[in-house]
Amino acid sequence: MVYINDVYKGLQTDCTGIGKPCIYVEFFGCDVGCSKCRHSQSIECKKRSSINKIMGRIFKQGIDLKNVVITGGEPLIQFNELYPLVYELLNDDYKVAIETGNCYKLPRDTYRRSFRYLVDCKTPSSGVAKKNVFTNLALLSSTDEVKFNIQDLSDYEFALKTLRTYPTCAKVVFYSDNPKIIECIPIWLFQDRLYNIQFIRSENNGWLVANTNRT
């Protein structure tokens, strides 16, 4: 049985898939404790569903929509229930992405690999940077993405230090909801000789995809 908040259609609001139609499966519960987070919930929830019921709710969202994002909360809290659901989705030809906050250890190759991870690596402004499991970054592939929420220069410097100390094959996304910081990020990256930069903007958010290979 899986603790979930809801299953619903929407547009992706995270990483490079922003704006793409998807089905969200929102897991309940997060004990990470990020500042200003609406998902700071305990795992004590009475809304439990079987995988079969969740699959039924997903199917009702439309047979032509095959892009599923498992979000939270923190899905990895329910580790033993998460991956059976993922593989049930894959068996039905869904494309699956798992959003996670990088505060729980990812499994190694046992569960890989026809789905993607969207990893939110916590920066100092989140208040929980010490909870990062940095060794997760080495487990990510080129189809995965790792996001850093950049609210100030300290967050940016933290992100670069993390990427240099823990190299990753994943795509790297720098995000900020501060318009002034969004304007600064390309300048900082140019000064650090980080190229192949792409901007992706939505109505209220700014997204920046960056190649972190230094030349």
User: In the prediction, which pLDDT does 62 show?
Assistant: 87
In this predicted structure, the answer to whether residue 215 has a pLDDT above a threshold of 50 is no
Mean pLDDT of the chain: 84
Closest C-alpha among 47, 57, 50 to residue 25: 57
The 10s digit of each residue's pLDDT in 10-54 is: 988 777 787 789 999 999 877 776 666 655 554 455 578 999 999
The 10s digit of each residue's pLDDT in 108-148 is: 765 556 899 999 999 999 988 999 999 999 999 999 999 99
User: In the prediction, which pLDDT does 43 show?
Assistant: 47
Give dist(CA 38, CA 30) in Å, integer. 10
Closest C-alpha among 37, 38, 75 to residue 54: 75
For residue 26, give the 3-state DSSP assignment: strand
User: In the prediction, which pLDDT does 176 show?
Assistant: 85
The 10s digit of each residue's pLDDT in 75-109 is: 999 989 999 999 999 999 999 999 999 999 998 76
User: In the prediction, which pLDDT does 35 show?
Assistant: 65
- Rounded to the nearest 10 degrees, how much is the dihedral formed by the CA atoms of 203, 118, 114, 167? 130
Residue identified by tokens 């998460």 is: 82
What residue ranges define each of the domains in the chain, with the CATH number in brackets? 2-172 (3.20.20.70)
Give dist(CA 9, CA 59) in Å, integer. 11
CB 131 within 8 A of CB 104: no
Rounded mean pLDDT of 189-194?
83
Predicted TM-score (pTM) of this structure: 0.88
